[in-house]
Amino acid sequence: MPEDMGLGRLSAMVVAVVLLMKCINGEDPYQFFTWNVTYGDIYPLGVKQQGILINGQFPGPQITSVTNENLIVSVFNSLNEPFLLSWNGVQQRRNSWQDGVYGTNCPIPPGKNFTYVLQVKDQIGSFFYFPSLAFHKAAGGYGSIRIYSRSVIPVPFPPPAADYTILAGDWFKQNHTDLRAILDGGHDLPFPDGILINGRGSNGYTFTVDQGKTYRFRISNVGLVTSLNFRIQGHKMLLVEVEGTHTLQNTYDSFDLHLGQSCSVLVTADQPARDYYIVFSTRFTSQVLTATSLLHYSNSAVSVAGPPPGGPTTQIDWSLNQARSIRQNLTASGPRPNPQGSYHYGMVNTTRTIRLANSAPVINGKKSYAVNSVSFVPADTPLKLADYYNIQGVFSLGSMPDNPTGSGGYLQTSVMAADFRAFFEVVFENSEDTVQSWHIDGHIFFVVGMDGGQWSPASRSNYNLRDGISRCTVQVYPRSWTALYMPLDNVGMWNVRSENWARQYLGQQFYLRVYSPANSLRDEYPIPKNALLCGRASGRKTRPF
């Protein structure tokens, strides 16, 4: 497509072409989005900052979709530096081409555009999108994604009176460029300055409810470095969903949400008519940050009273026990009519065990973060493109060890080779004093165990092989381990990363290349016609339209 076209003309062309394809192929429904990414002045903590806005909004526009819908998102980069969006939790079935991280996509150059073609295939639940390059996430650019069940699929709770989204996370008063310079200099970030709730500081956001009705709150931790606990003054919360999986419906007074995680709770407005605090506070930090918003009863004439309710602070066992209570609802339908428990993950033989240990080595005199001693270095060409065009020298398969090495840290573009339809046991091992949060693109996994101390094969005797929660982001407590079972059912190049954005930026990530020798469209879509080409892939051809 010519890159000097106006937004309207280019968007109209995309719509026309995709609608024609839809009519020919009888595909699932389509939605179309045109987003302009700009800088803008924001004041979330009362200080003027340079934020990243989408269509003038911070947070960005919400995507509301239904299982299997196609989402056509045309992104115009009006920043002065390259930009990419990634889609946290959207599995991109057979289509890592659309994942929006540097290992799979060339950045969108300043003044140019790229159209993502996504399908929320066989998914439901609560997720979010975010900018994946250059520490842009510290400037905003994120927004929520809701995927509803199809009307023919039963949902294991009555329809709520309304559905609210909360994007919460720690925040710095410094611009993202200043924070990036601190990291580039090999230093740790300072402690965050506050917590934002939907882009605003304390009491900047109000959720209105009718007395006696029940509401769904979808909450995501979109922060950079800290876990959060949330609670609602005087109200219980019924957990119903975690990252696309219906859960056992346990009731909580407060709930821990770690970096990159999302969940849904039901809250019934069953208290006297007045206003109540919704509270978020940092977890496992020596200094506790707190932010509040308001739950306002529509018939209330009484403002919020008393101090915000306190929550847990540094208690690890409390959080660990809560995490173990989060389990699959085996009888509920997921995105398909069959019950979630019909997939008996505990009866599948694992084909390979991967042990991944995080560390914080000093490499070449600079603070770094690593996985199995390897601190990831981005290549000059996206790995997916190098793989597709068979460009030598960009990365080496096997550059990510299967087990901790115990050696000093070193820099490498680390890629782990894996076979399509393998079934992995993955053990995250954390010998540090900070909570880790790990995300795996393109897949869900089953959390089978977590505990303190050192993992060993004997730890398997305590695995939950029946109703472990399936999700895409999981925490690992200090000096502890977390184990998962993961079916490798999605061909592509997939990012495995720390959701602590400073650690991710300084190397705590790698790529998992899930490979099928069949080279079939049943396993993976072809390279998109509009794929951006850069680095050593520049000047090559994609494919005919």
Within 8 A by CB and 6+ apart from 152, the residues are 337
**pLDDT tens by residue, 213-233:** 999 999 999 999 999 999 999
Q: In whole angstroms, give the CA distance from residue 487 to residue 501.
A: 26
One domain, residues 181 and 101:
no
Amino acid at 208: T
Domain boundary among 116, 148, 180: 148
One domain, residues 251 and 390:
no
Task: Determine the pLDDT at residue 10.
Answer: 47
Within 8 A by CB and 6+ apart from 490, the residues are 91, 92, 93, 94, 96, 442, 443, 514
One domain, residues 123 and 174:
no
Q: Which residues of 286-325 are buried (b: 16+ CB within 10 A; e: fewer)?
A: eebbbbbbbbbbeebeeebeeebbebbeeebebbbebbee
Q: In whole angstroms, give the CA distance from residue 266 to residue 218.
A: 9
Task: Determine the pLDDT at residue 4.
Answer: 42
Q: In whole angstroms, give the CA distance from residue 23 to residue 153.
A: 25
Within 8 A by CB and 6+ apart from 518, the residues are none
Residue 310: name the closest of 344, 282, 341 by CA.
282
Residue 247: name the closest of 322, 316, 313, 151 by CA.
322
The domain that holds 273 is classified in CATH as 2.60.40.420
Between β-strands 414-419 and 396-397, what pairing exists: parallel, antiparallel or unpaired?
Answer: parallel
Instruction: Indicate whether 424 belongs to any domain.
Output: yes
Kindly state the tokens that stand for 197: 């709730």
Task: Determine the pLDDT at residue 26.
Answer: 60
Instruction: Indicate whether 19 belongs to any domain.
Output: no
Task: Determine the pLDDT at residue 350.
Answer: 98
User: Residues of the chain whose pLDDT is less than 50?
Assistant: 1-5, 7, 10-25
Task: Determine the pLDDT at residue 18.
Answer: 46
Instruction: Indicate whether 8 belongs to any domain.
Output: no
Instruction: Indicate whether 544 belongs to any domain.
Output: no
Order of all β-strands in the sheet with 509-515: 396-397, 414-419, 509-515, 492-498, 436-440, 473-476
Task: Determine the pLDDT at residue 15.
Answer: 45
Within 8 A by CB and 6+ apart from 306, the residues are 233
Q: In whole angstroms, give the CA distance from residue 145 to residue 284.
A: 28
- The Cβ-side half-sphere exposure at 76, using a 13 Å CA radius, reads 17
One domain, residues 369 and 507:
yes
One domain, residues 168 and 134:
no
Between β-strands 396-397 and 480-487, what pairing exists: parallel, antiparallel or unpaired?
Answer: unpaired
Q: In whole angstroms, give the CA distance from residue 222 to residue 206.
A: 19
One domain, residues 507 and 412:
yes
Domain boundary among 328, 353, 380: 328
One domain, residues 129 and 168:
no
Domain boundary among 296, 328, 360: 328
One domain, residues 186 and 275:
yes
- Domain extent, residue 424, equals 345-537
* Beta-carbon count within 10 A of 519 CB: 9
Instruction: Indicate whether 90 belongs to any domain.
Output: yes
Contact 446, 398 (CB under 8 A): no
Instruction: Indicate whether 524 belongs to any domain.
Output: yes
How many domains does one find in the chain? 3
Q: Which residues of 458-497 are buried (b: 16+ CB within 10 A; e: fewer)?
A: ebbeebbeebbbbbbbbbbbeebbbbbbbbbbbbbbbbbb
Kindly state the tokens that stand for 164: 């609210």
Task: Kindly report the pTM of this predicted structure.
Answer: 0.94
Within 8 A by CB and 6+ apart from 253, the residues are 231, 236, 237
Contact 120, 78 (CB under 8 A): no
- The Cβ-side half-sphere exposure at 404, using a 13 Å CA radius, reads 15
Instruction: Indicate whether 153 belongs to any domain.
Output: no
Task: Determine the pLDDT at residue 545.
Answer: 63
Task: Determine the pLDDT at residue 544.
Answer: 74
Q: What is the DSSP string of 66-135?
A: ETT-EEEEEEEE-SSS-B-EEEET---TT-GGGS-STTT-PPBPTT-EEEEEEE-TT--EEEEEEE-STT
One domain, residues 132 and 241:
no
How many angstroms separate the first and last alpha carbons of the chain? 11
One domain, residues 171 and 298:
yes
One domain, residues 398 and 532:
yes
Instruction: Indicate whether 78 belongs to any domain.
Output: yes
Calculate the alpha carbon distances from 99 to 103, 129, 421, 441, 530 in Å.
Answer: 9, 10, 20, 8, 14
One domain, residues 80 and 114:
yes
